[in-house]
Amino acid sequence: MSALSFRAARRTVPGVYLALVLTLAIGWLVVVLSGGTLFTQATVVSLLHVAAGLGLVAVGQTLVIIGGSLDLSVAYVVSLSTLVAAEAMNGSDTALLPGVLLALAVSAGIGLLNGLLIARTRIDAFIATLGVGLLLKGYLDSGYDGPAGATSPALVQALGYQRIGPVPMSFLLLAAVAAGAWLTLRRTRFGHHLLAVGGDPEVARLSGVRNDRVLVAAHVLCSLCAGLAGVYLAARLGSGAPRVGTEGIYDLESIAAVVIGGTALAGGRGGVAGTVGGVLLLAGLDAVFNQLQLDAFAKQVVRGVVIIGAVAVYARRVIGKGRS
Amino acid sequence: MASLAAVIVLSLAGCSTDEPVTGPSGGPPSTGAGTGEQSKFFVSADYEAELAMLGATATGPAGKPWEQVLNPTMVDTASFKKAGPHKICFSNAALNNPWRQVGFKTMQAEVETHRDKIAEFVHVDAEGKDQKQIADINDLLGKDCDALIVSPNTTATLTPAVEAACRTGVPVIVFDRGVDTTCPVTYINPIGGYGFGHVGAEFVAQKMKPGGKVLALRILPGVDVLETRWSAAKLVFDRAKVDVVGVEFTDGDPAKTKKIVDDYLQRYGTIDGIWMDAGAVAVAAVEAFQDAGKPVPPINGEDQLDFLRMWKDQKLTAIAPTYPTYQWRTPIIAALRILDGEQVSNPWKLPQPTITEQNLDEYLDPDMPPLHYAMCGCTGLPGYPQRWK
Amino acid sequence: MQDTLPRRALPVRAGGPLPILAILGVLLVLVAIRQPDFLAPASLMSFLGRSAPIILLAAGQYFVIVSGEFDLSVGSLVTAEVVIAARLIDGDPDRTWPVMALVLVSAAFVGLVNGLITSWLRVPSFITTLGMLLILVGAVYLWSDGSPKGELSEQFRRFGRRAVEDVPVLGRVPYALLIVLLLAVLATVLMRSDFGRILVAVGDNPRAAELSGVRVGRTRTIAFVLSGCAAGVAAILLGGYSGVSFQAGSGLEFSAITAVVLGGVALGGGRGSVAGAMLGALTLELLFALMNFFGVSGTVRPAVQGAIILLAVAVSAARSPSR
């Protein structure tokens, strides 16, 4: 019993943070031994910027995965959102708010489409979001042959480059969005329903949850988060970029961050705190590999091992919990 | 130093920004000339300038095209003069294709030849991600580099980060793709995409039967260097009244390339010319004709050895415009000259040789692997040939 | 719980192979109108030959999907095997056979590792194979220094590139087509055997299968090994068809999964036939050829592809009774 409660208590701080601390500690040691430094202000700022972009997408991805779905279209939503925002703003500060709102509205619309395809038309989430992603790719490829539009200078300043000490505003935005998502999952009826739908759709339905609505809402929120990541990237890059989402591999990387953070891919279990940890872990690996100037390909191998390893550890814990 | 102090003061104040203060820069690209609908990347003046440079003679040491300059305009660098040995930092867009691999190995070898002057060479790979490269540059600025070399992943989106780097006072050298700002000390690249696209298209249009059918094979849409190649080729084909029956994207995938060529042969019976915006799948395109039992039409490739060998063996009617990998040597040379306070040319336009039937044999190196780029200018560098194998 | 995600959310009650035959029929009619000579034996044979790799990958993916899992690693496995084969053969014809054997064995081994991690360590297969994808791509780039080395021998390439000449009526019959026909027959026989029934049962309801004495983990591991083997053969055919490159297998995992779903196989397991999966792959390839014949602009192709996939899957989902 005490072992069980200990385990339950420990689970409130996701294990990924332990892994994060270990990774950074080992990374720091190796970097220092090889004559470098890891935690300079510049490096920390860079790390947090990388984490902010992926983090926004991954928080949204967490919501749909908890609901037992997933979204493979996020990379294209990110790219589209940068373009909508930057083209609407066209370099003027007065169009800042309309530009951001338009980008978010377009993203939410795509989320709605994803959600309806999955919940109403009953197309599998994998295929539905893959198909919607292809539709968006076609639009981006035929509409744009390179960066377009210009982000409002005020937004570039505020969201793209402003920071408080070593913490960029974009990371604070991520923290705020993550906190909002955390509250939504823990404290609202929608959050509880989402966990129920992901846990066992049949039971959820029988207990009066409207599964379809919950899933559609989760997909809208997921695309909104991807849209917000797009707004941030438009601020960072100064213009809209039709390939930024796919270059960043935001689809697979966000799913990886979510599962490293302890959310079960089958749905019904997990949370955004772990996801943020997963994002920081991936960004931390980036930073360590950068400082050591190790091959990016080696990093890919390490990432693959970390992803499998992390999930294997979680699976072990769940089994342990089940048996104790 | 003053800006560094300013950054420190700002961070102490608890609030700071890495944003460049300079305003929006870079003129809007002009609308296209020519007959077809042109890409928004098409800039007439640049196009004309590049075509003029194709015929120009370079100044500089003979036999060392990586040190030569076309139409030099020298800039003073005395303010950057510094005692060595130096720490040179390099923010690289990516290492994910053979062209960049060959180039980077060439650059590393060049660094080795200056061991006395370069104490440390720091390389960071952005893995083809704009946002990572912006973070990388910011990161490198905290490392006391004596010179910063940047090969941008995307022109427009890397401009703010490069401007931020310039403001710290470190000499910045940009090569391969450019940036929309004049703040770097020099921008090094060969003649460019218009020149590449034009040379290939001129050859194909001249050698094929008049009014014949051309298939244009492109790698990806939306990549600036490739867009300029295609926009120049389009002008040539429009003027020559060539029937461009298809513009297809291959993703650099040889299997996809063969299928596309196969289906076009089925659809049109014959294809009289193949134009490509990059040589990666040239061999696959030729194979598609061979496998279908059709004669291989005039084609352009690039300086990759698999294509050059096939050209020689099969006696193809071919040409290979190049985007030479020897340009990776120049940024190191430029950085050291700048740190010595010597004048350098800005822009530093390198010659962009074309491989033709006449000089093909010079570039056929039987010892090198098939995907090696012949125009690497690396035969005299330390570690040749093993390093490039 | 090693169940895959979408099944838990909303099951797709996909139908049998009828919808895919209907789509294939429509595409063939369109081809017949636009490009009638494509249906002549010679070009049809060459089309089937070049479609062999993706058909094999779809069949391999079918085993995994029908058992309730995913295999995202097949594309990178094809790339890895092609690059490895080129470097080991290095143009020397004498090494062809040993290297081909090595390709098949190592591909099966990767499948075995996928299966063991999924069933023993209880990592969802989506994650296992996503991790494997990263590891394989990273490792093969690392090993070859970022640029493929060596060359495939003509003996190796003939299986994907050459054909049996002078066949009556048909003309040339590509080796790849013969290989895919043979393996298709084997796959069909396998699915009709006890193993096939157990595989479907495991995907349909793993708990019930376990209770009736089926070793679920072992069955799924075998499915992964079969998928690995299919990727190995596909690598030999694809490397033969197009030569060595890092792009050889890129994106093929998504093509294969799309093909399987188009063929009426439900993600999440338990439903669909291997013939449907292979027909799905053929349909996808025919769609690409059709876009070439109609001259659909390269930039809008993804949109056309996406729309057709969504439409086809939506129609087959609507045809089936919902729960």
Is the Cβ–Cβ distance between C204 and C216 less than 8 Å? no
Class of domain A2-6+14-27+40-323: mainly alpha
C-alpha span between B169 and B147 (Å, rounded): 10
> In the prediction, which pLDDT does C4 show?
42
Beta bridge partners of C173: C164
CA dist C261 → B267, B327, C277, C283 (Å): 30, 48, 7, 12
Q: Does A249 touch chain C (CB under 8 A)?
A: no
- B387, part of any domain: no
With an 8 Å Cβ cutoff, are C250 and B253 in contact? Answer: yes
What percentage of chain B carries pLDDT values higher than 70?
A: 89
- Residues 31-50 on C with a CB inside 8 Å of B are 35, 37-38, 43, 46, 50
Q: Model ipTM?
A: 0.89
pLDDT of C25 > 90? The answer is yes
pLDDT of C1 > 60? The answer is no
C-alpha span between C58 and C46 (Å, rounded): 19
> In the prediction, which pLDDT does A5 show?
35
With an 8 Å Cβ cutoff, are B157 and A239 in contact? Answer: yes
Touching chains, B (3+ CB pairs < 8 A)? A, C
Smallest CA-to-CA distance from B172 within B19, B339, B24 is with B339
Do B288 and B268 share a structural domain? Answer: yes
Do B330 and B316 share a structural domain? Answer: no
With an 8 Å Cβ cutoff, are B157 and A237 in contact? Answer: yes
CA-based nearest residue in chain C for residue A64: C9
Query: For A278-283, what is the mean pLDDT?
Result: 93
Of B97, B255, B263, the CB nearest to C238: B255
Q: Does B306 touch chain A (CB under 8 A)?
A: no
Q: Does A294 touch chain C (CB under 8 A)?
A: no
With an 8 Å Cβ cutoff, are A125 and C9 in contact? Answer: yes
- Residues 262-301 on C with a CB inside 8 Å of B are 288-289, 292-293, 295, 297-299
Domain boundaries of chain A, sorted by first residue? 2-6+14-27+40-323
- B364, part of any domain: no
Is the Cβ–Cβ distance between C28 and C44 less than 8 Å? no
Type of residue found at B68? Q
Confidence bin at C312 (pLDDT 50/70/90): confident
Confidence bin at A321 (pLDDT 50/70/90): low
Q: For the ranges A206-210, B35-39, B334-338, C220-224, which has the lowest average pLDDT?
A: B35-39
Do B309 and B235 share a structural domain? Answer: yes
Tell me the backbone φ, ψ of residue C164, rounded to 5 degrees. Answer: -80, 120
- B253, part of any domain: yes
pLDDT of B316 > 80? The answer is yes
With an 8 Å Cβ cutoff, are B19 and A157 in contact? Answer: yes
With an 8 Å Cβ cutoff, are B370 and C151 in contact? Answer: yes
For an interface test with A, which of C2, C4, C8 has the most A Cβ atoms less than 10 Å from its Cβ? C8
C-alpha span between C248 and B250 (Å, rounded): 12
Q: Which residue has the higher pLDDT, C298 or C226?
A: C226
Buried b (16+ CB within 10 A) or exposed e, B350-389: bbbbbbeeeebeebebeebbbbbbbbbbbeebeebeeebe
> In the prediction, which pLDDT does C237 show?
97
Is the Cβ–Cβ distance between C285 and C51 less than 8 Å? yes
- Check: CATH 1.10.3470 for C5-319? yes
C-alpha span between A215 and A193 (Å, rounded): 10
3-state secondary structure of C147: coil
Q: Does B92 touch chain C (CB under 8 A)?
A: no
Confidence bin at C149 (pLDDT 50/70/90): confident
* Cis peptide, bond prior to residue B347, ω within 30 of zero: yes
Domain boundary among B275, B305, B321: B321
Tell me the backbone φ, ψ of residue B147, rounded to 5 degrees. Answer: -150, 145
In A10-91, the DSSP E strands lie at none
Beta bridge partners of B355: B320
What percentage of chain A carries pLDDT values higher than 90?
A: 66
User: Which CATH number characterizes residue B312's domain?
Assistant: 3.40.50.2300
pLDDT of C38 > 50? The answer is yes
Q: Does C241 touch chain B (CB under 8 A)?
A: yes
C-alpha span between C323 and C321 (Å, rounded): 7
CA-based nearest residue in chain A for residue C73: A304
CA distance A184 to chain C (A): 20
Averaged pLDDT of chain B:
88
Do B233 and B152 share a structural domain? Answer: no
CA distance B307 to chain C (A): 13
pLDDT of B22 > 90? The answer is no
Do B285 and B203 share a structural domain? Answer: yes
Q: Does B157 touch chain A (CB under 8 A)?
A: yes
Give the count of alpha carbons within 13 A of B240, CB side only.
25
CA-based nearest residue in chain C for residue B269: C37
> In the prediction, which pLDDT does B19 show?
56
> In the prediction, which pLDDT does A114 show?
97
pLDDT of C6 > 60? The answer is no
CA distance C24 to chain B (A): 18
Q: What is the pLDDT of residues A1-11, one digit of tens each?
A: 333 333 333 44
Confidence bin at A146 (pLDDT 50/70/90): confident
pLDDT of B96 > 90? The answer is no
What percentage of chain C carries pLDDT values higher than 90?
A: 74
C-alpha triplet C122, C142, C52: angle, nearest 5°: 70
Query: For A165-169, what is the mean pLDDT?
Result: 93
Hunting for tokens 């993203």 — which residue is that? A107
Q: Does B264 touch chain C (CB under 8 A)?
A: yes
Give the DSSP H or E segment for B91.
strand B86-92
Confidence bin at A14 (pLDDT 50/70/90): low
Do B267 and B118 share a structural domain? Answer: no
Q: Which two tokens stand for residue B371?
A: 């995907």
Is the Cβ–Cβ distance between C158 and B291 less than 8 Å? no
- B383, part of any domain: no
C-alpha span between B326 and B200 (Å, rounded): 20
Q: What is the pLDDT of residues C85-135, one digit of tens each?
A: 999 999 899 999 999 999 999 999 999 999 999 999 999 999 999 999 999
Domain that holds residue B207: 193-321
Type of residue found at C185? V
B166 exposed, middle or buried (CB, 10 Å; 0-12, 13-18, 19+)?
Answer: buried
- Residues 170-229 on A with a CB inside 8 Å of B are none
Of A43, A146, A163, the CB nearest to B142: A43
C-alpha span between B11 and A41 (Å, rounded): 10
Q: What is the pLDDT of residues B192-236, one digit of tens each?
A: 899 999 999 999 999 998 889 999 999 988 777 888 999 999 999
Q: Does B221 touch chain C (CB under 8 A)?
A: yes
For an interface test with C, which of B97, B248, B368 has the most C Cβ atoms less than 10 Å from its Cβ? B248
Q: Which two tokens stand for residue A178?
A: 């993550």
Query: For C154-177, what is the mean pLDDT?
Result: 91
Q: Does A203 touch chain C (CB under 8 A)?
A: no
With an 8 Å Cβ cutoff, are C241 and B248 in contact? Answer: no
C-alpha span between B177 and B224 (Å, rounded): 8
pLDDT of B28 > 90? The answer is no
3-state secondary structure of B118: strand
pLDDT of C2 > 50? The answer is no
Q: Does A315 touch chain C (CB under 8 A)?
A: yes
- B375, part of any domain: no
C-alpha span between A218 and C214 (Å, rounded): 37
With an 8 Å Cβ cutoff, are B252 and C293 in contact? Answer: no
CA-based nearest residue in chain B for residue C52: B255
CA-based nearest residue in chain A for residue C131: A304
Count of CB atoms situated within 10 Å of the CB of C303: 20
Do B218 and B122 share a structural domain? Answer: no
Total number of domains constituting chain B: 2
Q: Which residues of A touch C304 (CB under 8 A)?
A: 138
CA distance C154 to chain A (A): 30
Is the Cβ–Cβ distance between A91 and A153 less than 8 Å? yes
Q: Does B246 touch chain C (CB under 8 A)?
A: yes
Beta bridge partners of B151: B92
What percentage of chain A carries pLDDT values higher than 70?
A: 94
CA distance A276 to chain B (A): 18
Q: Which residues of C touch A80 (CB under 8 A)?
A: none
Provide DSSP, B172-233: EEEESS--S-S-SSEEEEES-HHHHHHHHHHHHHHHSPTT-EEEEEES-TT-HHHHHHHHHH
Task: Give the CA-trace dihedral at C257, C261, C262, C265, to 10 degrees.
Answer: 130
Question: Helices A189-199 & A211-237, crossing angle to 10 degrees?
Answer: 110
CA distance B134 to chain C (A): 23
Do B125 and B77 share a structural domain? Answer: yes
With an 8 Å Cβ cutoff, are B98 and C146 in contact? Answer: yes
For an interface test with B, which of A38, A79, A83, A237 has the most B Cβ atoms less than 10 Å from its Cβ? A237
